[in-house]
A and B are shown apart, each in its own frame.
Chain A
Amino acid sequence: GEDVEQSLFLSVREGDSSVINCTYTDSSSTYLYWYKQEPGAGLQLLTYIFSNMDMKQDQRLTVLLNKKDKHLSLRIADTQTGDSAIYFCAEGGFKTIFGAGTRLFVKA
């Protein structure tokens, strides 16, 4: 069945880059997503990438996709304390399957 895996925690210093990694199993997924969850709130879409792309850049965010290895990563440049949240990788298809979420801690 479908499965999305990601590490549970990441800690970085303010101003450094954060890289959150994810692996997925469903090679038919056309879209792959990164969602952000603020404390006590629902999830909001952060960015997404089409499966025919290798990279997408959106301001401080860079998404890299390696289809061969089914590996997705999210890089946040110049990480700020406001970036502290849980980041979910997800693959989109008939139903969206989410990873367990990576909790990003940003130390001032």
Chain B
Amino acid sequence: SQTIHQWPATLVQPVGSPLSLECTVEGTSNPNLYWYRQAAGRGLQLLFYSVGIGQISSEVPQNLSASRPQDRQFILSSKKLLLSDSGFYLCAWSSGTAYGDEAFFGQGTRLTVV
């Protein structure tokens, strides 16, 4: 069966510090991978998605970047965190069929930038 792991679960970082959140998927190959952010009191915003190794699409301009060094690994990074980067970050995967499919989510990382 497929599983998705995301860590850490919580993170408190000072403004200006770097960030690295990691997500790995097991039990499937060539998944579509996604990073979403859920800001406090707001909805779910798609940040990045990837259809393959090294292929990253950014949905909104921001202080963050994403990388996919391996087929089932997706990393969210920042060189210098801003206060506005605080939020709940969710990694997800889907099988990537052209006609739509279920997205499976990790448990999320709650990031607080202080």
Residues on B lying within 8 angstroms of A by beta carbon are: 6, 32, 34, 36, 38, 42-44, 46, 49, 90, 92, 94, 98-108, 110
Closest 9 pairs (CB-CB, A-B): A100-B43, A92-B100, A42-B105, A31-B100, A98-B44, A30-B99, A43-B105, A30-B100, A96-B103
Contacting residues of chain A (19-51) with chain B, CB-CB under 8 angstroms:
29-31, 33, 35, 40-45, 48
**Contact A43 to B90, CB < 8 A, known contacts A96-B100, A98-B36:** yes
7 sample A-B contacts, Cβ–Cβ < 8 Å, listed by A number: A31-B99, A41-B108, A92-B100, A92-B103, A94-B98, A98-B43, A100-B44
Which residues of chain A are near B107, meaning CB under 8 Å? 41-42
Scoring B44, B46, B102, B106 by chain A CB atoms within 10 A of each residue's CB, the highest score goes to B44
Question: Are B43's CB and A95's CB within 8 A?
Answer: no
Question: Please, how many residues of chain A have a CB less than 8 angstroms from a CB on the other chain?
Answer: 25
Minimal beta-carbon separation of A24 from chain B (angstroms) = 12
**How far does the alpha carbon of A35 sit from the alpha carbon of B38 in the complex, in Å?**
14
Residue of A nearest to B94 (CB): A96
Given contacts A97-B46, A98-B44, contact A44 B98 (CB under 8 A): no
